[in-house]
Chain A
Amino acid sequence: MKVSYNWLRELIDFEADHAKLAELFTMSGSEVEAIEPKGQEISGIVSARILEVNPHPNADKLTLCLIDNGKEKIRLVCGAPNARPGINVLVGMVDSVIAGGRRLDKVKIRGVESCGMILAEDELGISGDHAGIIELPDEIKPGTSLEKIAKLDDWIYELEITPNRPDCLSHYGMAREIKALLGGRIKYPKITINEISSPTADELTIEIADPQGCPRYTGRLVSNVKVGPSPLWLKSRLFYLGMRPINNIVDITNYIMLETGQPLHAFDYRHFRTKKVVVRKAVAGEKFITLDNTERSLTENHLLITDGEKGMALAGIMGGQNSEVAADTKQILLESAYFNPVVIRYGAKAVGLSTESSQRFERGVDINMAPFANDRACQLIAQLADGQIHKGIIDCYPKKFVPAIIEFRPQRARSLLGLEIPNPIMKDILNGLDIPYTDGPVLKITQPSFRPDLTREVDLIEEIARIHGLDKIPESYRPGGSLLKEPDPSFKIRNQVRALLVGMGFVETFPLTLIDSDMLKKLDNTIEAMNLQNPLSEELSGLRPDLIITMMKTLRHNINYGNKDIRLFDIGTAFIPSSETLPVEKELLCLGITGKTNPTSWRNPDKTVDFFSLKGILETLLSHLNINEIELIPQNYPYFDTDYSFTLSGNRNILGRMGKVAAAVGKQAGLKQEVYIAELNMAMLTSLALEEKHFKPLPKFPGSDRDIALIVDENIQAAAIMDSIRQSAGILLEDLFPFDLYQGQNIPPGKKSIAFRICYRCPERTLTDDEVDGMTKNIIDILAREYGATLRT
């Protein structure tokens, strides 16, 4: 909301310049988002009277005006259609400064010299209007300085008012904040209304059919108004505060709204044929044309101001086109009402409108302000539009405001805030905020009608804190250890995995969990993602059901940007649809590798990663986590190439899957390189990694190694051979691994050469060569029998 510094100064005396006041507002909860200087550059503008208007010799649309500026008579070139002899105008002479900081100079316009200009509103920055020059009232003498006609210099604050503080949406409300912060008294305008003898009640009855939606409605009639432009001060004030001046009647209603916070509406009363106001719910499907000339289709939740027959205004939101104040309007009905915030919020949203009026009603206006604001507006209408006010206000108030009565314990405030604030200061703050109370050890506080947010003790404690100043609250340090007795172990293991992977050259990624659900279907139609009802775009339309889909996207981005040799990982949530209310959220670890096995260097082999690169990485990682006995079980996953698609298990538990992204999938996903991906279940890793570790004594006796190179059929798996070796060697086998694999020259087709190192050790004694050779011979015999293996010589 916008607030004028000068207007506040008119309402209350205080000592704070515009910058200091802004800080006070921000630090008490009304954040000043911007401060805009207005009209401060303008200087040297005076009033003048046009004496003669003559045609410009060289231009049809221009005129030469002879003006009297109080000091001298001079000729100025003017282009305004409303320039005519006898009117009072504002002029800037040479060296005067107009809005935007432009200094006026002697200029030649179409061959004629002009020593100044007659000003339009935009040139003073008080509206965007350049249609004609400003016309001043007749009584202003030529040569009167602009400052005496309208005070245009000001500071305008843009405030962020939190939704709980409707009272701050007015100058009265912000003046009250100043009063609470700095002391002083608010100078509310004195209202004196000269009513004519004709009673309002003779010509107006008000009927509220929906007291829930409209607890209070006041109306006054003003006759014989002269609709016309508003005076300069009023126009400029509205314009500075972000409202477009329209005519004196509408401008006054807006002005009073900015002053009091009470939205008002002026109807042209001649259109109320029945001479009554009926406030009722709209009928579903009822059509109504608002004054922005748009037909609105209403629901039964809208509230409508009617004359008993047809709609006249969409209550609290916008007036109707059929009763808009026009140039020839003579009699107006002035509405000042209280509408239910929920009804207005719903109604405004349903028709897609948000107006100054609806924004205030939505948050809750002061129900007791309605009659005052009505009177105040009538007073101004009498002053500025010559209106005659009918006798009496009609105040229909079927649903009275019931204030909350709150018990306030000063000690509770002190302990909740951790602040030693004495009782008298708290009472000063309550007084400053116009919050009434009866004194005692516990204060009995009556909720003011302008503060719908104050219903509980804790709400009042907040008032004390924010006005006293949050900066006065000390910092206290409570020592303390962990209070939950069951810490979640997953954090520890997750961090261990992250550290290991980073050490192995992996870059940690953190992708969006939102995916393109259509793309997912193209890549793997066997899984279903949960879709958003209101996605921002196709690209972000669902929740990832696995981490492979996002890993492929991250790989694609990097490969496309030239990062071709990379190892990436992602630990995060996958969302699996479920019949329960919420999906199953699974924490997974995803690894993705592509490109070279090492950075390009004179020292590194120039090799590209393959399936075994990934398997090797997994072996290292898992072994660090105390997970061994890694097994791959062939299984088809749609993401993976059928030759390289496996379920991964460790310590006889399923850990996840790994494979090479299938060519078709990679193409669809935009991957320009071969990539290998593994996806593991973090919960399983965590539970396996958390198994207790127990010390094994270090060997006291030396071990013996034997290497055997075998030639076997190429489709015999290493695991089978190794199983046989293990069985045969029994407990004396300490370690066993393949160290060479070869096919090609000297090896018959369909065969492969595979060499194992067999490490024997006995914990109790040194094994003799004979023993070791005997066991090895035995192994070779068994392998020959079981697999037809021969020794490679």
Chain B
Amino acid sequence: MNDILNDIKTFEAEAIARLNSVLDKQALDALKIELLGRKGKLADFSKAISKVSDEMRPQIGAAVNRLRKLFEEHIASKEQTFASAVKKQTIDYTLPVRADFLGHKHPLLQTVDDIVDIFKSMGFEIASGPDVETDYYNFDALNTPEDHPARDLSDTFYLKKGVLLRTHTSPVQIRTMEKHKPPVRIIAPGRCYRSDYPDASHSPVFYQCEGLYVDEGVSMADLKGVITAFARTMFGKDIKVRFRPHFFPFTEPSVEYDFSCVICGGKGCRVCKNNGWLEISGAGMVDPEVFRAVGYDSEKYTGYAFGMGVDRITLLRYRIDDIRLLYENDVRFIRQF
């Protein structure tokens, strides 16, 4: 059925091109009959409507009507031009000007803006914390055991004993809860660091967004709601969200959440490795141990937390295939967004 819509599109382009190049009244009249006449092309499309399915009919009808109006406007304007004796133009108005440089926001930060906007509209407040953290905020308070591999020198950058570059934005959870009594609802975007050699999918510096909501009666269903609302606002209303059980020291239950593939719509493609789902990040219900670290009563309050890889979302939405491009800052790259 899309064939007809495609035909209409092709026809539109051709017709407008011809209208633009018409030089005199006579040619214009002929073209008018060809386009709008009872035996014209538009009439053919109108006839074809009866043959298409019920659901397509309004779409095609609307397309034909739009074209009719468009042609009429073009023809009217041409007629007016031919009617008035046009004075020869004294300026070459075809000269391109290129007056000023084009500024652009960085695609990663545009994505951060969009994420933050979406969560702000759902009542989240922006919070932040330092890039350089103590192991208390990055690990201990987040219930990460003393001998957890994430603490290794091979995973985490250290500046000195107990001082490191945060490996996730989760320390902001702790800093916020230390300062504020519940309820708390924050989104915390920021740079994070992990000892990964740069390649097409890894960068030693990357960008995360952390979400946290603590209140009485917050449930996993609320978490699912907020992630789903985000996914649909960011990527479109047809996006589906899937939770898979996982493990993180600072949430229980923990999940990884996936979005239905934004490239293929879930049918399967190279980007989603043919399974229709894209792994986005981790989430879960705040572990009682984390509440204990910040002095919240875990019987009274519950909460959810989620992470979000902003780099990954940026790569996906713009179909970028190499994360290093985000940090190289070539203006030819940034100006594309």
For the complex, what is the distance from the CA of A483 to the CA of B203, rounded to whole Å? 34
If A484-B184, A484-B186, A601-B99 touch, whether A478 touches B225 (CB-CB below 8 Å) is: yes
CB distance from B225 to the nearest CB of A (A): 4
Contact of A466 among B126, B147, B245 (CB under 8 A): B245
CB-CB nearest in chain A for B137: A582
Q: Is the CB of A487 within 8 A of B125?
A: yes
- A598 contacts across to B, CB distance below 8 A: 98-101
Q: State whether B106 touches A512 (Cβ < 8 A).
A: no
Contact present for A563 and B225 (CB under 8 Å): no
Q: Which residues of chain B (87-114) have a CB below 8 Å from chain A?
A: 95-106, 108-109, 113
Minimal Cβ-Cβ distance residue in B for A467: B245
Residue B183 is within 8 A (CB to CB) of chain A in the complex: yes
Question: Which of B3-11, B15-23, B248-256 lines the interface with chain A?
Answer: B248-256
**Are A510 and B132 in contact, CB atoms less than 8 angstroms apart?**
no
**A514:B98 contact, CB within 8 angstroms:** no
A512 vs B194: C-alpha distance in the bound complex, in angstroms? Answer: 12
Enumerate A448-505 residues with CB–CB distance to B below 8 Å.
456, 458-459, 461-462, 465-466, 470-471, 473-484, 487-488, 491, 495, 498, 501-505
B126 touches A488 (CB 8 A): yes
- Interface-forming stretch among A114-122, A527-535, A661-669, A719-727? A527-535
Interface-located stretch among A143-151, A161-169, A706-714, A759-767: A161-169
Set A416, A484, A543, A567: member contacting B132, Cβ < 8 A: A543
With both chains docked as a complex, state the minimum distance between the C-beta of A340 and any C-beta of chain B, in angstroms.
Answer: 12
> Which residue in chain B gives the minimum CB-CB distance to A537?
B197
Question: Which B180-205 residues have a C-beta within 8 angstroms of A?
Answer: 180, 183-186, 191, 193, 195-197, 203-205
CA distance A581 to B137 in the complex (A): 13
Indicate if the CB atoms of B224 and A416 lie closer than 8 Å: no
A478 to B153, CA, bound (A): 41
Check: A575 CB closer than 8 A to any chain B CB. yes
In the complex formed, the residue of A with least CB distance to B95 is: A602
Residues of A in contact, count (CB < 8 Å):
88
Docked-complex contact A505 and B224, CB < 8 angstroms: no
Q: Kindly identify which residue among A31, A498, A507, A535 contacts B331, using a CB–CB cutoff of 8 Å.
A: A507
Cβ B104 vs Cβ A502 within 8 A = yes
B209 to chain A, nearest CB (A): 13
Min CB gap B322→A, angstroms = 15
List, in ascending order, chain A residues with CB within 8 A of B329's CB.
507, 509-511, 554, 557-558, 568
Interface residue SS majority, chain A? loop
In the bound complex, how far is the Cα of B105 from the Cα of A502, in angstroms? 7
Query: Across the interface, do B246 and A29 meet the contact criterion of CB distance under 8 Å?
Result: yes
Q: Which of chain B's residues has its CB closest to A587's CB?
A: B128
Most buried by A among B162, B252, B288: B252
Cα distance, A565 to B221, chains bound together (Å):
52
On chain B, the residues within 8 Å of A505 by CB distance are 100-103
**Would B245 and A462 count as touching, CB distance under 8 A?**
yes
Chain A residue, CB-CB nearest to B108: A510
Say whether, besides A479-B123, A484-B184, A507 and B224 are in contact (CB < 8 Å): no
Asked if residues B255 and A504 are in contact (CB atoms below 8 Å), the reply is: no
B133 is an interface residue with CB less than 8 A from chain A: yes
| CB pair A509 B106 closer than 8 Å | yes
Establish whether residues A162 and B247, one from each chain, have CB atoms under 8 Å apart when the complex forms: yes
Closest to B156 in A: A534
CB of A428 within 8 A of chain B? no
Does A345 touch B at the CB level, under 8 Å?
yes
| Chain B positions within 8 Å of A534 at CB level | 153-154, 157-158, 195
Is B51 interfacial (CB 8 A cutoff)?
Answer: no
Alpha-carbon distance between A533 and B152 when the two chains are bound, in angstroms: 12
Compute how far the CA of A31 lies from the CA of B197 in the bound complex, rounded to whole angstroms. Answer: 26
Cβ of A293 within 8 Å of any chain B Cβ, yes or no, is no
**In the assembled complex, which residues on chain A have CB atoms less than 8 Å from the CB atom of B203?**
512
Return chain A residues, CB-CB under 8 Å to B131.
513, 543, 573, 575, 585
Given A532-B157, A558-B330: A416 and B184 interface contact (C-beta under 8 Å): no
For A514, what are the chain B residues with a Cβ–Cβ distance below 8 Å?
A: 193, 204-205
Which residue of B has the minimal Cβ distance to A474? B221
**Given the complex, which residues of A lie within 8 Å of B96, measured CB to CB?**
601
Contacts of B118 in A (CB 8 A): none
Among residues 727 to 785 in chain A, which have CB atoms less than 8 Å away from a CB atom of chain B? none
- Shortest Cβ distance from A610 into chain B, in angstroms? 16
A368 at the interface (CB under 8 A from B): no
B206's nearest neighbour on chain A, judged by CB, is A512
Alpha-carbon separation in the docked complex, A531 to B335 (Å): 33
If the complex has contacts A502-B104, A508-B109, A510-B106, are A530 and B159 also in contact, measured as CB distance less than 8 A? yes
Q: Is the CB of A603 within 8 A of B99?
A: yes
Which of A29, A478, A488, A554 is packed against the most chain B CB atoms within 10 Å? A478
Q: Cβ of A540 < 8 Å from any Cβ of B?
A: yes
Interface: A698 (CB within 8 A): no
Complex Cα distance A505/B285, Å?
45
- Give every chain B residue within 8 A of A510 (Cβ-Cβ): 106, 108-109, 326-327, 329
Whole-angstrom distance between the alpha carbons of A128 and B203 in the complex? 37
Q: Chain B nearest CB: distance from A765 CB in Å?
A: 42
B-contact bits for A283-304, CB 8 A (1 contact / 0 none): 0000000000000000000000
A509-B329, A532-B158 known; A483-B222 Cβ under 8 A: no
> Measured between C-beta atoms, what is the minimum distance from A655 to chain B in Å?
21
Q: Which of B289-337 contact A (CB under 8 A)?
A: 302, 326-332, 334-335
Task: Tell me if A258 counts as interface (CB < 8 A to partner B).
Answer: no
For B183, B197, B220, B302, the residue with the greatest tally of chain A CB atoms inside 10 Å of its CB is B220
| B130 CB within 8 Å of chain A | yes
Known contacts A462-B253, A510-B108; is-contact A342 B100 (Cβ 8 Å): no
Contact flags A233-273 to B (C-beta < 8 A → 1, else 0): 00000000000000000000000000000000000000000
CA distance A491 to B160 in the complex (A): 31
Report yes or no: A557 in contact with B328, Cβ–Cβ below 8 A: yes
Q: Which B residues are CB-close (under 8 A) to A687?
A: none
How far is the CB of B20 from the nearest CB of chain A, in Å? 25
CB-defined contacts of A512 to chain B, threshold 8 Å:
203-205, 327
* A561 on interface, CB distance cutoff 8 Å: yes
B97 touches A603 (CB 8 A): yes
Residue of B nearest to A501 (CB): B103
Complex CA gap A417/B100 in Å reads: 55
Which residue from A491, A557, A561, A566 sits with its C-beta under 8 Å from B126?
A491
Does B330 lie within 8 Å of A470, measured CB to CB? no
- Taking CB atoms, residues of chain A closer than 8 Å to B186 are 484
Chain A residues in 8 Å Cβ range of B31: none
Across the interface, which residues of B come within 8 angstroms of A459, CB to CB? 252
Q: Any chain A CB within 8 A of the CB of B243?
A: yes
In the complex, A507→B329 CA distance in Å? 9
Give every chain A residue within 8 A of B122 (Cβ-Cβ): 480
**8 Å CB contacts to B: which residues of A572-628?**
573, 575, 581-583, 585, 598-604
Q: Does B127 contact A (CB under 8 A)?
A: yes
Residue A397 at the chain B interface, CB threshold 8 Å: no
Residues of B within 8 A of A701 (CB): none
By a CB distance below 8 angstroms, the chain B residues around A162 are 246-247
Instruction: List the interface of chain B (C-beta within 8 A of A).
Output: 95-106, 108-109, 113, 116, 122-128, 130-134, 147, 153-154, 157-160, 162-163, 165, 180, 183-186, 191, 193, 195-197, 203-205, 217-222, 224-226, 228-229, 242-247, 252-255, 285, 287-288, 302, 326-332, 334-335
Closest 3 A-B residue pairs measured CB to CB? A418-B221, A418-B219, A505-B101
Instruction: List 10 A-B pairs, Cβ < 8 Å.
Output: A470-B245, A474-B221, A477-B229, A484-B186, A507-B334, A530-B159, A533-B153, A558-B329, A581-B163, A582-B132
Given contacts A498-B105, A505-B100, A582-B130, 14 further A-B contacts (CB under 8 A): A26-B244, A164-B247, A458-B285, A477-B226, A483-B183, A484-B180, A491-B116, A510-B327, A536-B204, A543-B165, A573-B131, A573-B191, A585-B131, A603-B97
Chain A residues with a Cβ under 8 A of chain B: 26-29, 31, 162-165, 342, 345-346, 415-419, 456, 458-459, 461-462, 465-466, 470-471, 473-484, 487-488, 491, 495, 498, 501-514, 530-536, 540, 543, 554, 557-558, 561, 563, 565-568, 573, 575, 581-583, 585, 598-604
